Amino acid sequence: MITLRSLTKRYGARTVVDDLTFDVEPGKITGFLGPNGAGKSTTMRMVLGLDQPTSGQALVGGRRYAELRHPLREVGALLDAKALHPGRTAEKNLLAMARSNDIPDRRVGELLEKVGLTEAARKRTGAFSLGMSQRLGIAGALLGDPKVLMFDEPVNGLDPDGVLWVRGLLRSLAAEGRTVLVSSHLMSEMQLTADRLVVIGKGRLLADAPIEEFIASNSVSAVHVRLPDAGDRRALAERLRRDGAEVDLPSDGELVVRDIPVERVGDAAHALGVRLHGLSPRTASLEQAYLELTASAVEYGVSERTVGV
């Protein structure tokens, strides 16, 4: 388990991480989300002892990273896919890591095969693409067979097959009872992968909840209704508004209904005897919920008026 208690990091007068408290539990994939500059990378670096907290604690299995005798056997991490010795081969990069933590050399070959880099084992990593570097970084994270794993943007640079492979890998690691923390800006991928979400903005905790609960709490689902007759559309809209629904008419032939379930919309249409061409509930996406929650926590935003200029 990863445990953060009142974790704070300041650089001079600037607070980058502000009193963060949350747990990352084993057996689940925890998505770690937040806008650029929110403090995600700094938080992960403090867990790994690369940055020192101003105050508070970041613990792995109840201990600070610096107290772990063989840290790669307990915590595996990929924070920067290009943080490799460019003049060394993939094999030698992993061998150096393995020997620093008394990990058997045979693990290097096993992991290179697991991530699909056996044929590139003797190639210098300076010539690797970002996708190949990501795969090698994942191999490094898995090298010591650790119970705790941390990944920062692990699918950057990967093709669709690679993204699917990472998704399956993360799920299998969590299914084995490992603690898995994944930071990403790809909301669609997080929605397919994560079990739980921790969201921060401007260094502060904004949400810590199961993904379904997070989406339901931070977005509004809707029912889309298609009716061919304009008079029927108006009649159904009026009826639903009397029932307490919010109703929009975004285009000819369609109603968007909020605040009542799809069954009540169908019952109202039946009671009025109107003809429907479509009736479908639309669940809000993680992206919608995330943008709604973090709207006031974006530090490096772009004005809509400047987009496309």
Instruction: Average the pLDDT over each of 6-10, 157-161, 279-283, 294-298 and give the range with the smallest value.
Output: 294-298
The helix/strand count (H/E) of the chain reads as 11, 13
Which residues neighbour 57 within 8 Å (Cβ) at sequence distance 6 or greater?
Answer: 3, 4, 5, 6, 7, 64
Name every residue whose Cβ is closer than 8 Å to that of residue 276 and which is 6 or more positions away in sequence: 225, 226, 227, 266, 269
Q: What percent of the chain has a predicted confidence (pLDDT) above 90?
A: 80
Domains within the chain, CATH numbers bracketed: 2-217 (3.40.50.300), 222-283 (3.30.70)
Q: What's the mean per-residue pLDDT of the chain?
A: 91
**What is the tens place of the pLDDT at every residue in 186-230?**
898 999 999 999 999 999 999 999 999 998 888 777 899 999 999
Average pLDDT (240-263) is 89
Give the global pTM: 0.81
Is the pLDDT at 303 greater than 50, yes or no? no
Amino acid identity at 177: G
Give the bridge partners for 17, in sequence order.
9
pLDDT in the model for residue 23:
97
Question: What confidence tier does 240 reach under pLDDT thresholds 50, 70, 90?
Answer: very high
Q: What are phi and psi of 251, to 5 degrees?
A: -160, 165
- Residue 301: pLDDT band with limits 50, 70, 90: low
| pLDDT higher than threshold 80 for residue 112 | yes
62: left (phi over 0), alpha (psi -120 to 50) or beta: left
Q: Which residue has the tokens 């867990």?
A: 47
Cα dihedral across residues 23, 28, 34, 38: positive or negative: positive
Quick: pLDDT tens for 263-300. Answer: 999 999 999 999 999 999 887 789 888 888 888 776 65
Smallest Cα–Cα separation from 95: which of 103, 87, 86?
Answer: 103
In this predicted structure, the answer to whether residue 257 has a pLDDT above a threshold of 80 is yes
Q: What is the pLDDT of residue 299?
A: 62
Between CA 21 and CA 208 the distance in angstroms is 10
Q: Helix (H, G, I), strand (E, B), or coil: what is residue 19?
A: strand
